[in-house]
Structure formats: C-alpha cells, structure tokens
Amino acid sequence: MLTRENVIQHIKTMPENFSIDELMDKLLFIYNVENGLEQSRNDKVTPHEEVKKKYKKWLQ
C-alpha cells in the first residue's frame, strides 16, 4: 500500500519540471512494486516452474 510519505519521497526524486504522464507512470510503478512486495510477504506468489508450465506456448 502506498503511503503519503512514500509518495512524497518519490516525488522529491523527480526533476523540477515533469509532466502529469511522468508522474502517473512513476506512481503506477511504485504501486505495482509495493503490491508485488506485499503479495510476496503474504506468500501469494506463483513458483517460476509453474509459470513456465502455464505459459509454455508463449516461451517457445
């Protein structure tokens, strides 16, 4: 989950001038990383071998 402090910290790393698209991209990236880390902490992950088996057609 994103926190206000986390968002502010990341915004401070951006250049002085940026577009709303750049901001949205950064926020979406941060959200997805935080979401993935939370899923990992809660053991809601799919093992690599299972993913390879499920998407075998795509990997050829």
Indicate the domain borders of the chain.
Answer: 4-59
pLDDT given at position 37? 94
pLDDT given at position 21? 97
Q: Read off the pLDDT of each residue in 8-24 and give the average, rounded to a whole number.
A: 95
pLDDT given at position 54? 87
Kind plus residue range of the DSSP H or E element containing 17: none
pLDDT given at position 47? 92
Grade residue 57 by pLDDT with cuts at 50, 70 and 90: confident
What residues contact 2, with CB distance under 8 A and at least 6 apart?
27, 30, 31, 34
pLDDT given at position 58? 82
